[in-house]
Amino acid sequence: MSAAVSEQKDDQAAGRMAKALRESAFAGLVTAGLSFPILALRAEPDIRNQLQLQPRWSWLVTAVLLVASARFLALMLDTVRARALAAAGLLLCAFGFGSAWFSPLATASLIGGTILAGLICIGAGFFVDRSHIRKSGPGLLARFAASPAGQTLTSSGAWVGIGMLVAFPLVMLGWLGPAGSLKWINNYGVQILIFVMLGWGLNIVVGLAGLLDLGYVAFYAVGAYSYALLATTFGLSFWICLPLAGILAAFWGIMLGFPVLRLRGDYLALVTLAFGEIIYLVLINWVDLTNGEAGISSIPRVTFFGVTFYDEKGGFSDLFGLPYSPIYRTIFLFYLILFLALLTNFATLRLRRLPIGRAWEALREDEIACRSLGINTVNTKLTAFALGAMFGGFAGSFFAVRQGFVSPNSFTFIESATILSIVVLGGMGSQIGVALAAVVMIGGTELLRELDFLKQLFGQGFDPTQYRMLIFGLAMVVMMIFRPRGFISTRSPSIFLKERKAVSSEFVGQGSG
Amino acid sequence: MRWQTDPLLQVEHLTMRFGGLVAIDDLSFTAGRGDITALIGPNGAGKTTVFNCITGFYKPTEGRLAFARTGIAAPAGVDALTNTGARFAYEPSGDIYLLERMPDFEISAQARVARTFQNIRLFAGMTVLENLVVAQHNPLMQASGWTVMGLLGIGGYARRESEAVDKAKSWLDSIGLLERADDPAGDLPYGDQRRLEIIRAMCTDPVLLCLDEPAAGLNPRETAMLNELLLTIRDEHNTSLLLIEHDMAVVMQISDHVVVIDYGVKISDGTPEFVRNDPKVIAAYLGVSDEEVEQVESEIGADGGAR
Ligand SMILES: Nc1ncnc2c1ncn2[C@@H]1O[C@H](COP(=O)(O)OP(=O)(O)O)[C@@H](O)[C@H]1O
Ligand SMILES: [Mg+2]
């Protein structure tokens, strides 16, 4: 009896293997057919400047093998986790073989090591897949987050996280010294935090109120130019300009809000997109005010409550008896943006528990029902636009005080797209998800700069940062397949009687406006 | 007859056209204070359109919708208000609102006319409790000092919010859904979603509650629970009801007054007893052709009922 069952199982496994082999061979063939003109042949000018076709069979073989083995693994593995592991393993193997083939510098141990690690990864994928017990209901992570232990952990985890952020620049400074830590505090710390803040600001509009805004960078620009102009023209200090910039941005948020109140979905997205472009064009063309493309330079830099960070008497280093270094300004900027970002976060978390925040979410769920309950949806939408814009404006004036220079080129559509991707990737409405997404997207961009070793593989002309958009595109596609509602797809209720149960994304609306 | 002596809502000459289509044609009826008034008629008769006009989702092409939130709407007072062009008047005899002049959210917030929808419109991704708290938006908004005080944590917002939760709890308790307060509204069974939508509307403290086919899709047990809820609302919460219903059992059992419309025209109006025996109604419901109705009328010597 049991022998018969195991025999049957073997049969099934063999059948599956055969099917997978067949399909992967087919996928390889398709790849070969499709990529033959692109990969296998390369036209190069010879000495007489005539194009000669050069065969590159190795490229074609690599592509075919990669696709075929990816297809094979995908067919043999059932769970997402196993597939992810196998994909990582495959990439490692490809890297190992690739460096063996292409790179003259690769050592045998490097090649062997990566290939071995890749094979182990693939093996682990199979192991995970086989030992996997199918379960229904929410994922492990979601169930843990909703459990009491998970909740205390996440709430104390937030404080631990904040503590780590506060310690981050000091630890970096102590570890790598002023010169070495600058990159980490500035490029990673400050840059990521700016986008965390922008993501949180846009999250009010898109994530909570469900209003798709493709022109958010406009408010960032309004904030930056507000500070730049107020500080250079009237000599106002940063701390006075900051609220003014917020108010001005909020004003423009309302200005945008009025015409788009009656628009929904695609139309709203289009008009907000156009609004972002209008602000950009105004910045370029209103030369008298904004100095056009040339931008505004020599904006007063940030001061430590009146104490400058220059190498001068009475400067920060002098005052505290430290050797002069630009790092202190960067550290102060880090704390400043950390403060602003946390302010945005706490305000949003509080707003979510106030009637206005609940009305935003109700608006996202069903606008008509809102109106039937006596909610003034016009005011509700306008406050969402205004508050979202205000935080964008704060971030903008921080940007200006950090750079000391603003020009329209910092406020192009690609910035809006990045911020929106952060919100969507993070999981609309989730604060922690947005922060995670900002770390992944902005940190990822910065990390690409670190991948210099790829030059060994692809030649000196290879610049990984140029592939940023390609990689983001791919990552987005992959995300939308596996986690269509973002990293954190569950919604946490704003109030509860007995226990705070996470609301599954299948019920949560995405807004139609 | 309360709808004649103490009318809460007076619909006069209501006409609604969509392009060439006349969905409601010169419809007049009144709904009495403290009554359950049923609006019935075959599919496409224009019942939902009447609701949408009353609750401000459609602007009527013609007609007046006078709503006497408190007191008696003296005809002279209503006419005077109509001539001023204002939306409402606080007369000594009572507050009068002209609903056709008000936007939808003000009709709910000020005139206190609440409604539910034919296709349930809950906030599916919010919990049951959140749905009921959102319904109390306006008083809570005021308590939070229009967000400013609430954001700074001053003022009595926290206390007011816990009162709102208490109110939600007592309503949930009354329909036996307290256990599910923390579940997403979209996760409830259909019958519970219907009743949740009704108590959510009740959380706005309405004077008139308009229900669009509340019994549609309910099984007999759920229908019985619904009837009980509607009677509780009328008797214990001083709220009059206007309901669209297809289920004749519900209509005949609980309504005090029935208005029948067909093709946007009123064909009968009276007590359930009266309407049930009205040949015009029978004809409309059985799908008899107009000639036959005339024939039936001439045979029984009636003109379709006293108006
Ligand atoms: N927004 C609208 N635009 C055009 N026609 C409408 C609209 N709303 C309702 N109608 C039409 O009005 C008539 C009455 O519809 P409705 O009030 O929904 O009927 P009931 O609720 O009695 O079944 C129907 O013929 C319908 O097609
Ligand atoms: Mg209808």
Best CA proximity match to B39, nearest among B213, B226, B243, B265: B243
The pLDDT of residue A137 is 45
pLDDT tens readout for residues B85-100: 788 878 777 788 999 9
* Mean pLDDT on B18-26: 91
User: Tens digit of pLDDT for each residue in A91-135?
Assistant: 888 877 777 776 666 677 777 777 888 888 888 877 777 665 444
Q: Which residues of A touch B137 (CB under 8 A)?
A: 355, 358-359, 373-375
Taking CA atoms, what residue in A is nearest to B121? A369
Q: Is A504 on the interface with B (CB under 8 A)?
A: yes
CA distance A223 to A406: 11
Task: Give strand pairing partners of B37.
Answer: B242, B257
How is residue B205 written in tokens?
Answer: 């403290």
Tell me whether residue A451 is exposed, middle or buried, using C-beta atoms within 10 angstroms of its C-beta: 0 to 12, 13 to 18, 19 or more: middle
Which residue puts its alpha carbon closest to atom 26 of ligand 1?
B44
Considering CB atoms only, which of A366, A383, A496 is closest to B123?
A366
Calpha distance A317→A310 (Å, rounded): 8
Tokens of A141: 């992570």
Is A178-450+483-507 in CATH node 1.10.3470? Answer: yes
User: Smallest CA–CA separation between A142 and chain B, in Å?
Assistant: 15
Nearest Cα to Cα of residue A278 among A217, A232, A322, A323 = A217
Among residues B255, B305, B299, B241, the alpha carbon closest in space to that of B277 is found at B305
- The reply to whether A151 touches chain B by the CB within 8 Å rule is no
Ligand 1, closest atom to CA B52?
A: 17
Query: Mutate which of B14, B17, B21, B246 to test ligand 1's pocket (most atoms within 8 Å of Cβ)?
Result: B21
The closest CB to that of B133, out of A358, A368, A375, belongs to A358
- Residues in B touching A359 (Cβ below 8 Å): 134, 137, 141
Across the beta sheet with B36-40, what order do the strands follow? B113-115, B208-212, B240-244, B36-40, B257-262, B265-270
Q: Which amino acid is at A198?
A: L
Sign of the Cα pseudo-torsion (A372, A377, A379, A383, in order): positive
Q: Which chain A residues have a beta carbon less than 8 Å from that of B187?
A: 507
Question: Per the CB < 8 Å rule, is B122 touching A496?
Answer: no
DSSP A485: T
Confidence of residue B51 (pLDDT cuts 50, 70, 90): very high
Q: Which amino acid is at A306?
A: G
Distances (CA, A) of A490 to A146, A433, A484, A506, B249: 10, 10, 12, 9, 42
Interatomic CA distance for residues A437 and A249, integer angstroms: 25
Please check whether residue A307 is in contact with residue A322, taking contact to mean a CB–CB distance below 8 angstroms. Answer: no
DSSP state of B270: E
Interface check A23 vs B, CB under 8 A? no
> Which residues contact residue A125 at a Cβ distance below 8 angstroms, ignoring those fewer than 6 apart?
A73, A77, A82, A83, A84, A85, A86, A89
Q: Judge whether A92 is closer than 8 Å to chain B, CB to CB.
A: no
**Cα dist. A407→A222, A298, A396, B34 in Å?**
12, 12, 12, 67
CB–CB of B114/B146 below 8 Å? no
**Domain residue ranges in chain A:** 14-131, 178-450+483-507
Report the predicted TM-score, pTM, of the whole model to 2 decimal places: 0.79
From the CA of B49, the nearest ligand is 1
The reported pLDDT for the residue numbered A5 is 55
Taking CB atoms and an 8 Å cutoff, what residues of chain A touch B165? 495, 497
What is residue B79's predicted lDDT score, i.e. its pLDDT? 79
For ligand 1, atom 1, which residue shows the shortest CA distance?
A: B18
What is the pLDDT, as a whole number, of residue B136?
Answer: 94
Provide the CA B261 distance to its chain's centre, in angstroms: 16
ipTM: 0.88
Per-residue pLDDT at B291: 63
Q: Are A508 and A430 in contact (CB under 8 A)?
A: no
Out of A374, A495, A507, the one facing B137 most closely (by C-beta) is: A374
pLDDT category of residue B199 using cuts at 50, 70 and 90:
very high
DSSP category for residue B213: S
Check CB contact of A494 with chain B, cutoff 8 Å. yes
Interchain CB contact of A491 with B (< 8 Å): yes
**CA–centroid distance, residue B214 to ligand 2 (Å):** 11
Inform me whether the C-beta atom of residue A148 falls under 8 Å from chain B C-beta atoms: no
Find residue B11's DSSP bridge partners.
Answer: B29, B65
In whole angstroms, what is the distance from residue A50 CA to residue A44 CA?
Answer: 8
* Minimal-distance CA residue of chain A relative to B153: A350
- Contact: B105, A374; criterion CB under 8 Å: yes
Contact between A283 and A414 (Cβ < 8 Å): no
Task: State the smallest CA–CA distance between residue A367 and chain B in angstroms.
Answer: 9
Which positions in chain B touch A365 (Cβ < 8 Å)? 123-126
Cα A446 to chain centroid, rounded: 12
Residue B154 has pLDDT above 60, yes or no: yes
Q: Is A495 on the interface with B (CB under 8 A)?
A: yes
Ligand 1 atom 11 nearest Cα: B23
List, chain by chain if needed, residues with CB within 6 Å of any ligand 1 atom: B 18, 21, 23, 41, 43-49
Helix (H) or strand (E) holding A472, with range, is helix A468-482
B168 burial (CB, 10 Å; 0-12 / 13-18 / 19+) is buried
Find, among B68, B62, B61, the residue nearest to B34 by Cα.
B68
A352: left (phi over 0), alpha (psi -120 to 50) or beta: alpha
Residue nearest to atom 12 of ligand 1 (CA): B23
According to the model, what pLDDT value does residue A136 have?
40
Ligand 1 atom nearest to CA at B45: 22
Torsion sign, CA atoms B258, B263, B265, B267 = negative
Name residues of chain A where pLDDT drops below 70: 1-10, 102-106, 130-155, 314, 452-460, 512-513
